[in-house]
Amino acid sequence: MAKSLLAGTSDLLHSLAADAPRIFLALAIFIGGLVVADIARRAVLKASAQTRHGSRVRVGLSQVLFATSVTIAALVSLTIVGIDIGSLVTGLGLTSLAIGFALRDIIENTSAGILLSFSQPFAIGDWIRVGTDEGMVLDISVRATKIKTADGTELYVPNRAIYGGAVENKTAFKERRYSVEFLLPAGSDYVEVCTACEHAAIETPGVLTHPAASSQLTLEGSGLMRLHLYYWAERNTDIARLSTLLISRLQPIVTPAKTS
């Protein structure tokens, strides 16, 4: 039994000695892959440091790149050692399929988060609308985007819903258009009222002169005219206060004083 053990040990040592060049080459390639993966991860973090997205997306993207690079290096190393990668992949095929199906939502949201980091349709602080959800972007992670709605509710929107649907970025530009509406009394000089309202809007502090305010009339079913006044303001303007001020200035114009 001792002779058999010695013979087995001797055969193992001879086999290792014969395969030493391949083993060292495989280790060198794997270690080199780790170094390259780490360099690539740091490069992604540095290159994306000036992007408009949150740090979580940058970290997630760098981690995905690191894992991919290490996996490729490991597969190449195993091939050099003599392991049949094809048989290994085939053996793990069903397991990988089951895991992939179970993690489908996570994979889809992560992929969408990475793609959003490249397209950058919005940034933290922007006011966006996705479907029926609307609010200010608070954070952008790999899985979901966190927004704060107008009533102060914290909402997480899956990245796949954002990437696969229409996204309205209402603060992409420095100015936004707003509107106020009034029903005009019958018999009003509609052209004169529209002109007066436009001038009053331009003279209101906070309303931009370029683009200029404009007005539109629509006929109601009751036969009355409805005035739509459109005006522009900076995107960070307190629009509730501005609209209140504007309405107070327009009220005397659209509602003439009664005469006795």
Kindly report the CATH number assigned to the domain that includes residue 138.
2.30.30.60
Q: Kindly state whether residue 1 falls inside one of the protein's structural domains.
A: no
* Per-residue pLDDT reduced to its tens digit, 171-182: 888 898 999 999
Is 242 inside any structural domain? yes
Give the count of domains, the chain. 3
126 and 93 part of one domain: no
The CATH number linked to 89 is 1.10.287
In whole angstroms, how far apart are CA 25 and each of 69, 75, 78, 82, 225? Answer: 17, 13, 11, 12, 84
Select from 48, 70, 102 the last residue of a domain. Answer: 102
Judge whether 10 lies within some domain. no
Verify that 57 and 95 share a domain, yes or no.
yes
Query: Which ranges of the chain have pLDDT less than 50?
Result: 3, 12-13, 16, 54, 257-260
Say what the pLDDT of residue 142 is. 73
Using CA atoms, how far apart are residues 180 and 228, in angstroms rounded to an integer? Answer: 6
In sign, the C-alpha dihedral spanning 186, 190, 196, 199 is positive
* 232 lies in some domain: yes
Backbone angles phi, psi at 228, to 5 degrees: -110, 115
Q: What is the pLDDT of residue 205?
A: 94
Question: Which domain range does residue 128 map to?
Answer: 122-169
pLDDT (0 to 100) of residue 64:
67
Check residue 43 and give its pLDDT.
Answer: 73
d(CA 19, CA 130) in angstroms, rounded, equals: 59
Residues 130, 192 within the same domain: no
Which pTM was predicted?
A: 0.54
Q: Both 93 and 42 in a single domain?
A: yes
Domain annotation covers residue 35 = yes
Predicted confidence at residue 97, as pLDDT, reads 52
Residue 108 falls within a domain, yes or no? no
